[in-house]
Amino acid sequence: MKKLWKALLCAAALTLTLTGCGSASPKGTVDSFLKAVKSQNQDKIKEYYDGELLTSDETEIDDSTEKGKAAEKALYDKMLAFDYKITDEKTDGDTASVTVEFKDYPIGDTMADALSDYIGSAFSAALGGSSQEEITNQFYDTLIEKYNGLKEKSYTRTATIKLTKKDGKWKIDDLDTDALNGIFGGLYTFGA
How do residues 140-185 score in pLDDT, each as one tens digit? 999 999 999 999 999 999 999 999 999 999 999 989 999 999 999 9
How do residues 101-134 score in pLDDT, each as one tens digit? 999 999 999 999 999 888 888 778 878 888 888 8
- Of the candidates 146, 151, 144, 77, the residue with the CA atom closest to the CA atom of residue 112: 146
How do residues 36-86 score in pLDDT, each as one tens digit? 999 989 899 999 998 776 444 444 455 678 898 899 899 999 999 999 999
Distance of CA 153 to the CA centre of its chain: 15
